[in-house]
Amino acid sequence: MNRAFSRKKDKTWMHTPEALSKHYIPYNAKFLGSTEVEQPKGTEVVRDAVRKLKFARHIKKSEGQKTPKVELQISIYGVKILEPKTKEVQHNCQLHRISFCADDKTDKRIFTFICKDSESNKHLCYVFDSEKCAEEITLTIGQAFDLAYRKFLESGGKDVETRKQIAGLQKRIQELETENIELRNKVQDLENQLRITQISTSPASSVTPKSPSTDIFDMVPFSPITPQLSTPTRNGTQPPPVPSRSTEIKRDLFGAEPFDPFNCGAGDFPPDIQSKLDEMQRQRWRGSKWD
């Protein structure tokens, strides 16, 4: 491992000061991960961290997992680690918290830096894999340190407080972006639930009333409460109409009216029979009178 930056006055850097102070320098690399270390600096410290993360990455690769790609944005304010496509910030390592940076001379693709976490106050070693730019990325971080130190001397130390305020604002922005993503996901879930509810309550899904069932003779079962409905039979023909009840006098099997000897007219019987009927009528009247 090799310490990549120093503050020599005759040092020749790769980028213009404006590129790092007003903007940032982007790089693409593979992110092997980060691990906690006991010391804030040291060649042996980062060597052990690289060995540990390489072994863990080898196991994940054997399980079919690919090493994730990230974008690094380097400026005098720090090193940002972003997802290349969505530009979502995964880690924001402020420059004044970075205590060590080095590239591996035995493996020219590997470079690392140690940064103190702002929440846990633990020292974490970040390890990256870049096939062509490992040394260049390390030198760019060194140049950012050199420019930040010069700016500190020019401002008499006031710039440190400004950087802390900017770092606090950047952290707050990152938190708000995370909350915005969570709220967007919740809104999407609510819209999906509302869409499902509207589909389930639409008229097309309502139950249509069933037609009255018929018996084996294609007749609608009789109910004294509900009115008779004119329902087509299975063969498509209409059932015969129900005969209406009339108030006419009922007739017997031969079409004759029921016999009542006391309600018949006088001309309906011969004289001898009529006289007997009259006598029976008088006797009936006397009996009802005495009762």
- Whether the CB-CB separation of 111 and 12 falls below 8 Å is answered with no
The position carrying tokens 């530009």 is: 87
CA distance readout (Å), 91 to 78, 149, 189, 246: 10, 23, 28, 97
171 against 147, higher pLDDT: 147
Percent of the chain with pLDDT over 70: 67
Q: What span, in angstroms and rounded, lies between the C-alpha atoms of 103 and 132?
A: 12
Does pLDDT of 7 surpass 60? no
Q: What span, in angstroms and rounded, lies between the C-alpha atoms of 128 and 29?
A: 6
| Number of alpha helices (DSSP H) and beta strands (DSSP E) in the chain | 5, 8
Burial class of 166 by CB neighbour count within 10 A (0 to 12, 13 to 18, 19+): middle
The position carrying tokens 């004294």 is: 224
121-141 residue pLDDT tens: 899 999 999 988 999 999 999
Indicate the domain borders of the chain. 17-155, 157-197
25-54 residue pLDDT tens: 999 999 999 999 999 999 999 999 999 999
157-187 residue pLDDT tens: 666 666 666 777 777 787 788 888 888 888 8
17-155 folds as PH-domain like (2.30.29)
Confidence band of 247 (pLDDT split at 50, 70, 90): low
Q: For position 278, what pLDDT does the model report?
A: 78
| Inter-axis angle of helices 134-155 and 158-200, nearest 10 | 120
Q: For position 51, what pLDDT does the model report?
A: 93
Q: What span, in angstroms and rounded, lies between the C-alpha atoms of 74 and 139?
A: 11
- Whether the CB-CB separation of 92 and 163 falls below 8 Å is answered with no
Task: Spell 237-273 as b/e; 16+ CB within 10 A means b.
Answer: eeeeeeeeeeeeeeeeeeeeeeeeeeeeeeeeeeeee
229 against 118, higher pLDDT: 118
Alpha-helix residue ranges (DSSP H) falling in the chain: 17-21, 43-62, 134-155, 158-200, 271-290
Give me the mean pLDDT over the 92-121 stretch: 91
Mean pLDDT taken over the chain: 78
Highest-pLDDT range among 30-34, 198-202, 211-215, 276-280: 30-34
Does pLDDT of 148 surpass 70? yes
Give me the mean pLDDT over the 241-259 stretch: 59
Does pLDDT of 109 surpass 90? yes
Q: What span, in angstroms and rounded, lies between the C-alpha atoms of 148 and 194?
A: 53
Give me the mean pLDDT over the 194-214 stretch: 68
Which has the closest alpha carbon to 40: 92, 138, 112, 104?
112
Confidence band of 24 (pLDDT split at 50, 70, 90): very high
SS3 for 65?
Answer: coil
Percent of the chain with pLDDT over 90: 38
- Whether the CB-CB separation of 28 and 134 falls below 8 Å is answered with no
Confidence band of 289 (pLDDT split at 50, 70, 90): low
Highest-pLDDT range among 6-10, 103-107, 138-142, 181-185: 138-142
Does pLDDT of 219 surpass 50? yes
Confidence band of 3 (pLDDT split at 50, 70, 90): very low
Which has the closest alpha carbon to 145: 200, 195, 76, 203?
76
SS3 for 231?
Answer: coil
Name the CA dihedral angle for 32, 36, 41, 43, rounded to a multiple of 10 degrees.
-50
